[in-house]
Amino acid sequence: MDMSTDDLKVRANKAFKQVARIAEGSQAAAEREAADQAIRDKTQRLKALRLEKEATERLRKPPPRALHDD
């Protein structure tokens, strides 16, 4: 089976494009994971800030007044 130069070029181009698609897919997956991690980090930081604020507000709030039967 003897392939012409054009056939070899076509096969080589297809193989190259397939490798390029795989590389792009891997890069896209890595970028998506990095973005997901950034969201998790931001969410964790905001939760910590919210909990700190709530704790501070609880400490500043005066204790409830006792009810007296006079």
In a domain, 22, yes or no: yes
Structural domain includes residue 66: no
Please report whether residue 51 resides in a domain. Answer: yes
Residue 7 lies in a domain: no
Residue 6 lies in a domain: no
- Give residue 27's domain range: 18-56
Kindly state whether residue 37 falls inside one of the protein's structural domains: yes
CA angle 7, 10, 14 (to 5 degrees): 140
Q: What is the pTM of this model?
A: 0.56
In tens digits, what is the pLDDT along the chain, a chain of 70 residues?
567 888 999 999 999 999 999 999 999 999 999 999 999 999 999 999 999 999 999 999 887 787 776 5
49 within some domain:
yes
Residue 11 within any structural domain of the chain: no
- Tally of domains in the chain: 1
Pseudo-torsion of CA 45, 50, 56, 58, nearest 10°?
-150
